Amino acid sequence: MAGSTCATARQYMDEMKRLLHLVNDLAVDKVSEAIFTAWKGDRRVFICGNGGSALTSSHWALDLMKTAEVDGQPRLKAISLTDNVGVITAVGNDVSFDDVFRYPLDAYAEQGDILIAISCSGNSPNVISACEWAATHGLTVIALTGFTGGKLRELGDIRVHVPSDNYGIIEDMHMAMGHMAAQGLRARILAQEEVATWTS
């Protein structure tokens, strides 16, 4: 496996602590704001990634739909493109593994939707293909990267980068960003509800 590893729990924790100060928190807030705009417009948010990032994609979709919910308000239409094994294996087998995320986007996505693309290396061909499709079809691309960011970092309209070469730490940070985004979305929905109450 390429990338660095930590020999002790303390070394891992210290590296996490160091990186927390290097990640752009304002970029994460931009992610929450973009998702809130999508929620207000009744748009969809698609999420994709490979390996550990595929599971992070599923977790993001769960939190954006469930954790961010506010009673009496519609839930965000958050969809993980990694969750349909049939689609992934059929497209991977019959077309190309590079198209497993682009293919369902072509079926479901519309202008004004969001694609959140998660890749530690930033160079996963199927993630890049999905982002290229999204960029030409009016979607906002949110890129979560590690290492040097790869090609994905260049394709993101909003970019959140973890400057590390440790896969575990990058994935932990990407997961935490999902929690931040979901809680930020919920806070914005609640704030809008308060404003509506004051002005009614």
SS3 for 136? coil
Burial 145-183 (b: 16+ CB within 10 A, else e): bbbebbbbbebbbbbbbbebbbbbbbbbbbbbbbebbbe
Domain boundaries, the chain: 22-199
Instruction: Give 144's strand partners.
Output: 118, 160
Query: According to CATH, what is the number of the domain 22-199?
Result: 3.40.50.10490
Q: Determine contact, residues 173/19, Cβ cutoff 8 Å.
A: yes
Q: Determine contact, residues 2/110, Cβ cutoff 8 Å.
A: no
Alpha helices in 63-124 (DSSP H): 85-94, 102-108
Which amino acid belongs to residue 44?
R
Tokens representing 26 are 């304002």
Please give the chain's pLDDT, 200 residues, in tens. Answer: 579 999 999 999 999 999 999 999 999 999 999 999 999 999 999 999 999 999 999 999 999 999 999 999 999 999 999 999 999 999 999 999 999 999 999 999 999 999 999 999 999 999 999 999 999 999 999 999 999 999 999 999 999 999 999 999 999 999 999 999 999 999 999 999 876 666 65
